[in-house]
């Protein structure tokens, strides 16, 4: 004879399937040579931050500053971090670049006038790729664009 307790233990619990967690793509990342230069600059100058302004003086070069030497604007967008340094972009540049993943690289040359890599024989450079439609949709879902 089955008791109510036995009936309960014989009943199968419905299995709940959960969709796999998908992370949105990074909006900014850095190449290995860029990460090496970031570490070198951090050893010399302490904590760093990057800002992509698209301003007049250094064109669209990403600028690297010691934390505290550059005031981030209230409307600037933090895209992420590269090498442990926050990476910000101005609102107007974000509107232009929001469909792309920024890839920070280095090339031989002279860095931006106010950027810390000036004098290192290398300069930071932005490369980019367009997000695939599903990637952009993920960014929209999580409120990143």
pLDDT tens series, the chain, 145 aa: 555 555 555 555 556 555 555 699 999 999 999 999 999 999 999 999 999 977 655 557 899 999 999 999 999 999 999 999 999 999 999 999 999 999 999 999 987 778 999 999 999 999 999 999 999 999 999 999 9
Q: What's the token pair of residue 85?
A: 């340094």
Place of tokens 């931050």: 49
Q: Please, what are the domains in the chain?
A: 25-141 (2.60.300.12)
Q: CB neighbours of 106 closer than 8 A, spacing ≥ 6?
A: 31, 33, 34, 37, 117, 122, 123, 124, 125
Task: Yes or no: say if 53 and 114 are a contact pair by the CB < 8 Å rule.
Answer: no
Residue 143 Cα to chain centre, angstroms: 14
Gap between the Cα atoms of 60 and 19, Å rounded: 40
State the Cα angle at 51 between 86 and 45, rounded to 5°: 65
Residue holding tokens 């760093």? Answer: 48
pLDDT of residue 61: 85
What are 34-38's contacts with CB under 8 Å, separation 24+? 34/82, 34/83, 34/104, 34/105, 34/106, 34/124, 35/82, 35/83, 37/106, 37/117, 37/120, 37/122, 37/124, 38/64, 38/82, 38/83, 38/84, 38/85
DSSP label at residue 32 = H
């Amino acid at each position: 004879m089955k008791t109510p307790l036995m009936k309960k233990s014989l009943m199968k619990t419905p299995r709940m399937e959960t969709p796999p967690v998908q992370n949105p793509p990074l909006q900014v990342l850095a190449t290995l040579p860029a990460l090496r230069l970031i570490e070198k600059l951090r050893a010399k100058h302490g904590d760093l931050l990057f800002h992509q302004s698209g301003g007049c003086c250094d064109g669209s070069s990403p600028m690297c500053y010691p934390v505290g030497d550059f005031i981030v604007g209230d409307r600037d967008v933090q895209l992420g971090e590269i090498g442990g340094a926050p990476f910000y972009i101005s609102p107007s540049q974000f509107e232009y670049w929001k469909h792309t993943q920024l890839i920070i690289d280095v090339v031989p040359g002279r860095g931006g006038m106010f950027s810390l890599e000036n004098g290192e024989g290398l300069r930071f450079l932005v490369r980019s790729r367009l997000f695939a439609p599903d990637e952009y949709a993920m960014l929209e879902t999580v409120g990143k664009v």
